[in-house]
Amino acid sequence: FGCTQQELLPCKSHPETVLFQLLGLSIATLSTVAHYGLRFTLISNVSLDSNAYKVIHHSAFYFGICLSMTLILAALLSSAATVRESRCLTAMGFFCFALAFCGLIPAACWRYTHSTEVEDSMMDVYDFVYEEVRRNTSSFRRHELTAIHEAFLCCGKHSPFGDTTDVESTTCPSNQVHNEGQDCLREIQDFLKKHMDFVFSLLGIAIGFTVYGMFLTSFLWFSIHFSSNLYRKGKYTLR
């Protein structure tokens, strides 16, 4: 494929290196969008200290950035180890993959065991702001509720109270009021479900790639350790 015998091993490792770097960049992009996105930022700024959403919001961002940096570093170390045939660099690459794997498994387990915690905490924030506006206790909360309605393109919530008409008429976009806009609790739940399903899928892909990376670096380390590199291939001694 256009590689000499001595260049064969580095050329084979190049596509895997690019894939790991793309995976790391994808995780970093998703973490940044989730942290600085308008909808997530609005809820995070409104949430109280007693609500778990703000902690989850910041923890997910820092975890995603650290994970992406670890995967990119592992890919670069593996590529350098292949070119230099260095056992030290190979071991460092394996350690980075193992570190990423040890972080991904608890994250995937947390998502599986706390499947609705993010959705519930986000909807609790909306409930709190909505009830504050309904009781007319804060004009600032009214501004926050209006911003949430405009961001999620929804209008109020289905409630047993009969005096909620004024809340929707003063905080919802005009087109949502006239067209009986979507229930915000359902809209928030559907939005987060799609987002979290995508995150869970990306975690599964990342786990598979880190396992593959650990196998790849292990094979490379043993290959170098037993002096089976391609520079010595074809050299024999007759006895």
Whether the predicted pLDDT of 156 surpasses 90: no
pLDDT in tens, 115-139: 788 888 999 999 888 888 888 766 7
Residue 69 banded pLDDT, cuts 50, 70, 90 = very high
Give Dmax (Cα) for the chain: 99
What is the mean pLDDT of the segment spanning 206-210? 93
Distance CA 121, CA 53 (A): 5
Whether the predicted pLDDT of 95 surpasses 70: yes
Residue 106 banded pLDDT, cuts 50, 70, 90 = very high
pLDDT of amino acid 13: 45
Residue 17 banded pLDDT, cuts 50, 70, 90 = confident
pLDDT of amino acid 8: 40
Q: Long-range contact list for 217-221, CB < 8 A, 24+ apart?
A: 217/78, 217/81, 217/90, 217/91, 217/93, 217/94, 217/97, 218/94, 220/78, 220/81, 220/82, 220/90, 221/87, 221/90, 221/91, 221/94
**Percent of the chain clearing pLDDT 90 (strictly above):** 25
Among residues 130, 121, 124, 128, which one has the least CA distance to residue 149?
130
Among residues 201, 198, 195, 202, which one has the least CA distance to residue 152?
195
Among residues 70, 53, 206, 39, which one has the least CA distance to residue 121?
53
DSSP 163: -
The whole-angstrom distance between residue 76's C-alpha and the CA centroid of its chain comes to: 21
What is the mean pLDDT of the segment spanning 157-179? 64
Residue 3 banded pLDDT, cuts 50, 70, 90 = very low
pLDDT of amino acid 20: 84
Distance CA 58, CA 44 (A): 9
- In the numeric block, which tokens belong to residue 232? 């010595």
More confident site: 104 or 48 = 104
What is the mean pLDDT of the segment spanning 77-104? 88
Residue 114 banded pLDDT, cuts 50, 70, 90 = confident
Whether the predicted pLDDT of 164 surpasses 60: no
Residue 219 banded pLDDT, cuts 50, 70, 90 = confident
User: What is the rounded average pLDDT for all residues in the chain?
Assistant: 80
Whether the predicted pLDDT of 12 surpasses 50: no
Determine contact, residues 31/61, Cβ cutoff 8 Å: yes
**Percent of the chain clearing pLDDT 70 (strictly above):** 79
Residue 96 banded pLDDT, cuts 50, 70, 90 = very high
pLDDT of amino acid 223: 79
Distance CA 24, CA 210 (A): 11
